[in-house]
Structure 1
């Protein structure tokens, strides 16, 4: 993209197109959104707006982009707009920085080497990078070779971890906007330029198995099995290897015979959806070659054209921890079908590695073998020379190593992002309540005052009980005593004990947090209910069966 196009595309993806296009509508209150940004996030927005203004001046175009001082000036329309980051304040005096200064967490202290492996999900990654850059972090980064990667520790959050896919569509849209800004803020803070790219325009197949775009492939799979999240052909290939090939030496590394692999692909195209493909005769090395071919033949890369270069730039970040933080954000930026498919592949690679004593496929071996398939997609190979491809090999293998090794961390939504979403929802709700109150005054309606109150109703009943809703089941609600150590897992156990007629499996049952400052969130089983209700006092707890099926 040219200068100016980059900034316009970035602002659009961040949900801030109204800053340069008055006709744009994103359905969100930009003032409320901007009020939740940290100083580094605000600085990232400022940088793009200023660059766009300069570009428009050079081109002698009408100057329609507002000045950053107007964008970040405090507003009296919201109670919390004192936190809106002005250009001056964005460089030092936000609540997040004050928290850091008060010593909230290991990143604020810059202390001993043990902190090198502590992952802080409560403070913005770009803020942590700024603290590191300013010299408060004294320990030097260590380079790890082969399979020897550190065990990064994430402190237990009593309100529970949130995985990609646990939130409602509305809240995930907010997450994505914040992640776009946080990702750029992290790279900006580290002095690394991150460019995105336009999607490739090419003719693509509209049906079949190989060389078909992921959305098209999943659409045809979902017509057969609703809820499919990972292409069925890929699932079958991985399952075939897991069932019979994990102990075979060199699985994934030793290729199948080229003529046989070509024949297998042709037969799959003809017989897969009819259920007539002879899986029992498929050799394991051939299956692995077909799996790699499937990934390579995707017309658009699994890591997307837009963020392909950003993935390659991750290793420029100065510490392993910052590289993981960047990967975490990039994974969250992937479209849902890419993210789910990539996760299924990483889980499969880990299964292969778990049998390394027999198959000799260590983390490093798997990464070296699979990186070229993930990073050398069909459309991208035409744009790169063999020499460039060779130079990329080591770096891409290191990125795949990180994706496999830390997949449980990389597919989670950092708490600081989720807290920003909660702030947005709270402010939007307050604004709606005020609007309702004004309308009711105009209509001289004084009833239903509770709905217009800014004070949330606590989800607690007399004598320390809470009520859990279960609308899908015969026992539509259940009273549970609220104690300090009550977890979501305890609620699930209690329900399954009392609901005798339930046929849903434990792993397909989830306790949801709904309402208040979140639309809907599936809770992990280690969530402490009291801590959650302190964070979101007006939340309802709802039990639902969920579809975890990938096919």
Structure 2
């Protein structure tokens, strides 16, 4: 069968680029990877809030954590990559240098705050609602970028004067005094004089106005606990109040087993929220990540993608978005490219007990031929998978990831992932990775999740395949963090340091992947507050529409139906459109969980439906009120959640396709 032509097209991507200080910051990371030199990393913009000060952090060129972690597997993988790289293939620069001011402008757009500048600044009521829910450190991060953008714009065009956002959103003096959470914009100098919201910090045990509050955070919250209720940047800011707190002596051979404290209102995972709420989560995650890096005096390295030509046919060197689009035409609901799933499946079919399952490469000539045949025959269904050995499939999977024209971790955030290892503690790194995972586009995030889950399954068989967590991290790091192999051409001290950092980040992503797909509770809380503020603008219109709809609905209901829908106090009504019993009044008790409600409906349906639904296929949803839509985990305590969102409706329906 003839091979399909490689059609090309131009794709324009927008994001933002590392600041012009990145080179200076990056040079500080070069040198002997085993040396231990202390130093500080600067931020992209302006000076640090003087009241917050700077953190003196001991860091090394690579990381202490990699001192005992041999890089042999890493460099062996690099050599294998070079053997399988087509040097004749034209390399394209996927990174574009930004014009002056574009960095801050793109940041504001990504954060959902583009209407803070320009002609529409005076009418940006939606942004006011958004800003009103920000924490102190988040507000400072936004303010800094707006100030920098405004200054840059005035320098470029002195005749074009834009309104100062601090004047646009200036609050009355009485409102400023009342608002202890710094909701909205004020000057940084004024914000420095304000006291922290003690009620917020009391929840973290971080009050500074008494002797007990001066204890170290580690003395109050065990190191293995991850606090998702308070902003990560706020937690980092408070650590500066304790002069005796020192940065951790890092050693990845002693990785803690981080855990999430039980949340009675339920843990929210990526994919549990409605698209509109998830869009708000993404904006908040970017602001929070920026604030965290600002507080830790670490440069946040973000880039901007250039316009490049990409293939639109075949399976290799095709963007994930293009692959998924053609896969979904064949199999609706697909979230991960079919070629990637097939390669993983083929590796597992051969057994994960095979020694060196990811380490031993396939023959270079055979891999090249298999790539060409898969490009031509995969979608025709004529490719003979019996000819693919297990080690060939592993090499093809790594080739697929490595040769993506737009990296799996994206052009925009690739260096940000890399810079995670500059953060002072394991907990800070985990927090930053959590926010970065949230920021990834859906297709990249879903593909990364499938890959990490597969790698964990490989590690689970380490007693037989001799592939430990460190081995797997070393082998996969150069495939995820090298853009078109440009970072693999030379090996110097800087490359050694980079290898150590990327391998450690890879190790973190594999080990803590279950935590990384969790949306922090403080961000979900901000989404709820924003929804409440936005709803107030349409209260009158909604009230009238709801009244008219209720009147029409009531006229169509019989007396029996009306009596069935009356819900006594202390009860909630659960709707289940897919079930024969479409609704049920459920009494709220202290120990009632979402899983209990599902079990009640499923038990009643066991003999009344033509198709038996499994518990894993359905979910109880929280809909409306202060949230768009949220899929509840089974351990959610319904009484606590109903108190948090008393106006919500409760509906049982199928889970999103996985």
Asked if Structure 1 and Structure 2 have the same fold, meaning a TM-score greater than 0.5 normalized by the shorter chain, the answer is yes
Q: Is the 8 A contact 2:122 2:168 kept in 1?
A: no
Partner of 1:544: 653
The C-alpha deviation readout for 1:104-130, integer Å capped at 9, x for no partner, is 357975344562222100000000110
What does the per-residue CA deviation read over 1:320-352, in whole Å, with 9 as the maximum and x for residues that have no partner?
A: 101110000000000011011101111000000
Please say if residues 285 and 438 of structure 2, whose CA atoms lie closer than 8 Å, have aligned partners that are also in contact: yes
Distance in 2, Cα, partners of 1:72 & 1:42: 14
Answer yes or no: is the 8 Å Cα contact 1:197–1:306 preserved in 2: yes
Aligned with 2:509: secondary structure?
helix
Q: 2:219 matched to 1:119?
A: no
2:342 corresponds to: 236
Q: Which moved more, 1:413-422 or 1:540-549?
A: 540-549
Gaps of 5+ in 1: 452-458
- Out of 275, 296, 302, the position equivalent to 1:196 is 302
Structure 2 partner of 1:227: 333
| Superimposed CA distance per residue, residues 495-516 of structure 1 (whole angstroms, 9 cap, x where no aligned partner) | 1111231433321211110000
Task: Tell me the number of residue pairs that the alignment of Structure 1 and Structure 2 aligns.
Answer: 532
Classify the secondary structure of the residue corresponding to 1:233: helix
Report the TM-score, using the length of structure 2 for normalisation: 0.75
1:289 and 2:392 aligned:
no
Q: Confirm or deny: 8 A CA contact 1:118 1:152 kept in the other structure.
A: yes
How far 1:75 sits from its partner (Å)?
A: 9.7
1:98 aligns with 2:198: yes
Q: In the alignment, does 2:242 pair up with 1:135? A: yes
Greater relative CO, 1 or 2 (CA 8 Å, sep 6+) = 2
Using the alignment, how far apart are the partners of 2:150 and 2:656 within structure 1?
47
SS at match of 1:21: coil
- TM-superposed deviation, 1:546: 2.2
What SS does structure 2 have at the residue aligned with 1:521?
A: strand
Secondary structure of residue in 2 paired with 1:483: coil
Give 1:63-212 correspondences, 5 Å limit: 63-68=161-166, 70-71=168-169, 73=171, 84-85=183-184, 86-87=186-187, 90-91=191-192, 93=194, 97-104=197-204, 110-112=216-218, 115-135=222-242, 138=245, 140-146=247-253, 148-212=254-318
1:336 maps to 2:457? no
Which residue of structure 1 lines up, in the alignment, with residue 118 of structure 2?
A: 21
Q: Bigger CA drift: 382-391 or 154-163? A: 382-391
Q: CA deviation at 1:200?
A: 2.5
1:530 maps onto 2:639 in alignment: yes
Partner SS, residue 418 of structure 2: helix
Query: Does the C-alpha gap of structure 1 residues 447 and 231 become closer, same or farther in structure 2, counting only changes over 3 Å?
Result: closer
Residue 622 of structure 2: aligned partner = 513
1:381 Cα deviation after fit: 2.4
CA RMSD in angstroms comes to: 3.0
TM-score by length of 1: 0.89
Deviations along 1:115-154, one digit per CA (max 9) or x if unpaired, are 22221000000001101123277364131234x3101121
| Matched residue SS, 1:134 | coil
| Alignment match, 1:43 | 140
Equivalent residue, structure 1, for 2:129: 32
The structure with the larger Rg is 2
- Name stretches of at least 5 consecutive residues in structure 2 with no aligned partner: 1-97, 208-212, 552-564
- Partners of 2:116 and 2:165 within 8 A in 1: no
Q: Deviations over 1:175-211 (max 9, x none)?
A: 1111111111000111112242211221100111000
**What is residue 52 of structure 1 aligned with on the other side?**
149
Q: Distance in 1 between matches of 2:629 and 2:436?
A: 23
What are the within-5 Å matches in structure 2 for residues 106-505 of structure 1? 110-112=216-218, 115-135=222-242, 138=245, 140-146=247-253, 148-378=254-484, 381=486, 386-387=491-492, 388-434=494-540, 461-462=567-568, 464-500=570-606, 501=609, 502-505=611-614
